[in-house]
Amino acid sequence: MPCTVVVGGFWGDEGKGKIISYLALKEPVDLCIRTGSVNAAHTIWYNNKRYALHMVPGGFVQEKCRLLIGPGANVHVAQFFREVEETGVKNRIGVDNLASIIEEKHSVQDKSSAHLKGLGTTGWGVGPAIEERVRRTAKGAKDIPELKPYLADVSEEANRAIQDGKNVLLEGTQGIMLSLFYGTYPYVTGRDTSASAVCSEAGVGPTKVDDVLIVFKAFVTRVGTGPLPGEISKEEAQKRGWFEIAAGTGRDRRSAPFNFEVARKAATINGATQAAITKLDCVYPDCKGINEFDQLPKEAKHFIDEVEKQTGVPVKFIGTGQDALNIIDRRK
Ligand code: IMP
Ligand code: MG
């Protein structure tokens, strides 16, 4: 803080939602800006309720936080309204005038394209919606009457808040290995997912950012097709307690052990200044619910040290359970 970008260090689903919700509760965050689109589901457990948010920023758990969707984002109008209702944030959420709209036809195009299907897309239509924006025929948020009361100038608001020394969180989606530029092309999403791209989509210049917080999970997962180094079988994943089902699409997630080489590269490309590691308790069950680093078992501490050594980035947050507050916060 004051301006922190949160990004994923693997193939998405690292637990960005959990880390963002923790930060929003603790800091407290004044402004949280979501980028990307509806393909990403950020899971947040708060007050024993689970939220899988595709549009509303994860900072919603902080009741004073202003929530914004950036100009570079693609807004799914129906999903936006569903989530605004579910989270009760009607009076404090805004959508940038310049954000693009993702429509049902884009989803139909996504699902009926053999090529996109072969890449294992989520089927929400994000690729086709971005294509249409690039062709300059896409609808914008300002063309949708129901969005009128929500329209905002996000870059103005963000930069004013930063200028005033407020806490601003820029919420990235997916992970670096799904980036159109840096990922396992062509098995990637339709946009860059790096910290620089998140800033660009929110309208915040690189000199205004104080921290880039990269989120890793203690093991790696990926949904859809494409390479996953060190992949283990579903049976093995179940045995280890790593097996997950995608929050957004309900598909099985593939899994592999923590990948130090990918983590190093991810930290470099994102210019990460801090790291978070989630789900440490899935790899080292004795860690469950622990809030103090000193109380971690020796192997778990060793793993964290190794991540710091190999990425060159201090691990400031460690997830030890599903609730937003099951975290070891090493900034203290
Ligand atoms: P698309 O973004 O729907 O075009 O899908 C392209 C690739 O990115 C597929 O492998 C998807 O499974 C993956 N992907 C897209 N969004 C997410 C996400 O939020 N988490 C994990 N994988 C994702
Ligand atoms: Mg997800």
Q: Identify the pLDDT of residue 27.
A: 86
Give the Cα separation of 77 and 251 in Å (integer).
24
Q: Identify the pLDDT of residue 248.
A: 77
Task: Give residue 164 CA to ligand 2 midpoint distance, Å.
Answer: 32
Within 6 A (CB) of ligand 1 lie 12-13, 39-41, 119-122, 124, 126-127, 173-174, 178, 187, 189-190, 223-224, 248
Give the Cα separation of 125 and 299 in Å (integer).
43
CA distances from 308 to 28, 43, 218, 293 (A): 27, 26, 13, 14
Task: Give residue 163 CA to ligand 2 midpoint distance, Å.
Answer: 31
Is 171 in contact with 32 (CB distance < 8 Å)?
yes
Q: Identify the pLDDT of residue 247.
A: 78
Query: Considering every ligand atom, which ligand is closest to the CA of 39?
Result: 1
Residue 116 CB burial class (10 angstroms; 0-12, 13-18, ≥19): buried
Q: Identify the pLDDT of residue 249.
A: 85
What phi, psi does 125 have (nearest 5°)? 95, 20
Give the Cα separation of 247 and 221 in Å (integer).
12
Q: Identify the pLDDT of residue 269.
A: 98
Helix (H) or strand (E) holding 45: strand 42-46
Q: Identify the pLDDT of residue 259.
A: 98
Task: Give residue 246 CA to ligand 2 midpoint distance, Å.
Answer: 7
Give the Cα separation of 122 and 248 in Å (integer).
8
For the CA of 249, the nearest atom of ligand 1: 12
pLDDT in tens, the chain (332 residues): 799 999 999 999 999 999 999 999 998 899 999 999 999 999 999 888 999 999 999 999 999 999 999 999 999 999 999 999 999 999 999 999 999 999 999 999 999 999 999 999 999 999 999 999 999 999 999 999 999 999 999 999 999 999 999 999 999 999 999 999 999 999 999 999 999 999 999 999 999 999 999 999 999 999 999 999 999 999 999 999 999 999 778 899 999 999 999 999 999 999 999 999 999 999 999 999 999 999 999 999 999 999 999 999 999 999 999 888 899 999 97
For the CA of 127, the nearest atom of ligand 1: 4
Is 13 one of the annotated active-site residues of the chain? yes
Query: Considering every ligand atom, which ligand is closest to the CA of 179?
Result: 1
Give the Cα separation of 10 and 83 in Å (integer).
26
Give the Cα separation of 165 and 3 in Å (integer).
9
Q: Identify the pLDDT of residue 153.
A: 98
Task: Give residue 253 CA to ligand 1 midpoint distance, Å.
Answer: 11
Is 54 one of the annotated active-site residues of the chain? no
Q: At what angle do helices 104-112 and 126-135 cross, to 10 degrees?
A: 110
Q: Identify the pLDDT of residue 330.
A: 97
Q: Identify the pLDDT of residue 149.
A: 98
pTM value is: 0.97
Q: Identify the pLDDT of residue 1.
A: 74
Is 138 in contact with 116 (CB distance < 8 Å)?
no
Residue in this structure with the two tokens 């590269």, named with its chain if needed: 265
Query: Considering every ligand atom, which ligand is closest to the CA of 222?
Result: 1
Q: Of all protein residues, whose CA lies closest to atom 9 belonging to ligand 1? A: 121
Give the Cα separation of 139 and 141 in Å (integer).
7
Testing ligand 1's pocket by substitution, the residue of 178, 217, 251 carrying the most ligand atoms inside 8 A of its CB is: 178
